[in-house]
Structure 1
Amino acid sequence: METFSFNKIGVLGRLGSDSVVSTLQRLRHWGAEKGLTLQFDSELQSSMANGSAPVVAFSSRQAIGEWADLIIVVGGDGTLLGAARDMARYEKPLLGINRGRLGFLTDIMPQDLPGAVERVLSGDYVMENRFLLEAQLLRNNEVVGEAMAMNDVVLHPGQSIRMIEFELHIDNQFVYSQRSDGLIVSTPTGSTAYALSAGGPIMHPSLDAIVLVPMFPHTLTSRPLMIDAGSEIRIAISDNNDLPPHVSSDAQSHMETRNGDVLVIRRHPHRLHLLHPSDHNYYETCRTKLGWGSRLGDD
């Protein structure tokens, strides 16, 4: 029997996708052939019901996080973002299989199964340590909402089309007041997502920094601001807003503010350990996903 670096493998996936279920079933059969111990997210149980398939265990995400020494995520980048927020506290490595569109984070393609996964399990991989953000919404100095984000925390007007007003403080120092469509607070991971669309810089994942990108500010001099990842960001919601701004984390969780609230954003204490095949090249990923030019002379 082959010897792998990882033997207790948790499997998470996106619900409601036939292509994801197909890949999950392939992992199910492959794990049985290799004698590996796999536990699948219990939310996938009804989607994977198949009496003739090898029997596998289903567990909650909490149980998988505590038990596994590797977690495979099948889906798109959004699926991995959700898994990262759930699993970061356990500090277990994640490996993404792409069943989405871009695939910045889930970079193993289904046609490369099972070979690419076997190479990773055998120790042929590179690991990136990426940080997340944690956000707290304070009202009268009491916490009324909390969220985590791997890409970004975004202050925005919600469904209304109007500017919002707020003050920005970093490490207890006043930075500026602003009227704009909002502010994107992004990690390096999120710098190729919403922040990029708003004119923010692309940040290499190894940087220990946060970028703040204004959204359509009512001034010509407001530009993206890069700060140390250990900074504390405080955004004070003005009393002059006609409608309460909203806060979104990875565009997957949402909080509604009130005038006078304070949004506090910090680096989360736990990091995500993201595995890639050993031939992974971040710049090649940017080149292929973002349409950068190839080498001169290449077809």
Structure 2
Amino acid sequence: MEQFKTIGLIGRLGSAKVIDTLERLIRFLGERQLDVIIDESLAAALSDHGLPLAEREALAERSDLVIVVGGDGSLLGAARTMCRTGTPVLGVNRGRLGFLTDISPDEVETRVGEVLDGNYESEQRFLLEAEVYRDGELVGTADALNDIVTHPGKVARMIEFELFIQNQFVYSQRSDGLIVATPTGSTAYALSGGGPILHPKLEAMVLVPMFPHTLSSRPLVIDAASEIRIHIGDANEADPHVSGDGQTQIVSKPGDVLIIRRKAQRLTLFHPLGHNYFETCRSKLGWSSRMGD
């Protein structure tokens, strides 16, 4: 008996290659007599399939497994919904790097078939949640699998803020902003900012200043259970933006308070058997192979 009876399909819009892979998946899953639900955003691109459509939240609730076809950005968007229902996610890479979407489109039937047969590795990835308060009232929220970033927005100027961790004052800073990243996000924007790579099994967060005014300011790794509080300085001339995975935006005001903490729900991420995190780093980041290879 199939472990997964209903499969949800999500794909990145605007890519013929993504649509080609989705159509291959639909045929393959149909041959296995599985129920398939399509993300309603794909309705126009996949018009002749005759399969049910569902908005993202309903798709998560009705699916036993969700397959995301696209790049890591596509999976990031799906993760924020799938974590609420605990629906496992499997990624097929049709993007560039593919840290999270690790199945090659050339082997999609083989690898997806193995997962459907129960041959897979499963891991839990934690997310972050951010809340922005103004005069004590909640004015905006954001979730992120990769990172929460405070930045000046479209204005090219530094912002001032105070950082507190577990209610303890850390420092005041003038910089282009601050990246708060999960281990998943440590190989994304935070890495470009000079932050360390955190293994995904670590229960830790990394705080990476963006072009700080003082050269002594360095990335800081802290316990993932910590609560981070950022006080946006009253003297800021710009309205700093708070973004989640670069996909959701909150426009803050001087005097606002940003709170970031680990989200209670986690993403269940599936990989084919033999998945090796360090091999992924080698291939995606251009690390050297073993001598003699």
Q: What's the TM-score once normalised by structure 2's chain length?
A: 0.98
**CA deviations over 1:28-86 (Å, ceiling 9, x no partner):** 11111110111111111111112xx5x32211212111111111111100000000012
Query: Among residues 47, 58, 63, which one is paired with 1:63 in the alignment?
Result: 58
2:128 is matched with: 133
Deviates more, 1:241-250 or 1:260-269: 241-250
**CA deviations over 1:10-40 (Å, ceiling 9, x no partner):** 1111111111111111111111111011111
Aligned residue pairs: how many? Answer: 293
2:219 equivalent to 1:221:
no
2:10 is matched with: 12
Amino acid at match of 1:11: L
The answer to whether the 8 Å contact 1:28/1:56 transfers is: no
**CA deviations over 1:260-287 (Å, ceiling 9, x no partner):** 0000001111000000001110000000
Instruction: Describe how 1:117-196 pairs up with structure 2 within 5 A.
Output: 117-196=112-191
For residues 100 and 9 of structure 2, what CA distance do their matches in structure 1 show?
Answer: 16
**CA deviations over 1:223-271 (Å, ceiling 9, x no partner):** 1111111111000000111111111110111111110000000111100
Amino acid at match of 1:25: E
Amino acid at match of 1:42: E
For residues 250 and 42 of structure 1, what CA distance do their matches in structure 2 show?
Answer: 22
Deviates more, 1:55-64 or 1:38-47: 55-64
For residues 93 and 73 of structure 1, what CA distance do their matches in structure 2 show?
Answer: 11
Amino acid at match of 1:257: S
Q: After TM superposition, which residue ranges in structure 1, 4 or more long, deviate above 6 angstroms?
A: none
Query: Among residues 276, 284, 290, which one is paired with 1:289 in the alignment?
Result: 284
Amino acid at match of 1:8: T
1:234 is matched with: 229
User: Once the two structures are aligned, what percentage of the paired residues are identical?
Assistant: 60
Q: Secondary structure of the residue that 2:207 maps to in structure 1?
A: strand
2:86 equivalent to 1:91:
yes
Q: CA deviation at 1:139?
A: 0.1
Q: CA deviation at 1:160?
A: 1.5
Query: Among residues 276, 283, 293, which one is paired with 2:271 in the alignment?
Result: 276
**CA deviations over 1:79-123 (Å, ceiling 9, x no partner):** 000000122100111000011000000000110020100001111
Query: Among residues 38, 47, 50, which one is paired with 1:49 in the alignment?
Result: 47
Q: CA deviation at 1:4?
A: 2.9
For residues 45 and 241 of structure 1, what CA distance do their matches in structure 2 show?
Answer: 44
2:36 is matched with: 38
Q: Secondary structure of the residue that 2:127 maps to in structure 1?
A: strand
Q: What's the TM-score once normalised by structure 1's chain length?
A: 0.96
For residues 7 and 241 of structure 1, what CA distance do their matches in structure 2 show?
Answer: 54
Structure 2: any 5+ residue segments left out of the alignment? none
2:205 is matched with: 210
For residues 211 and 54 of structure 2, what CA distance do their matches in structure 1 show?
Answer: 45
Amino acid at match of 1:294: S
For residues 190 and 113 of structure 1, what CA distance do their matches in structure 2 show?
Answer: 25
Structure 1: any 5+ residue segments left out of the alignment? none
Q: CA deviation at 1:188?
A: 0.3
RMSD: 0.9
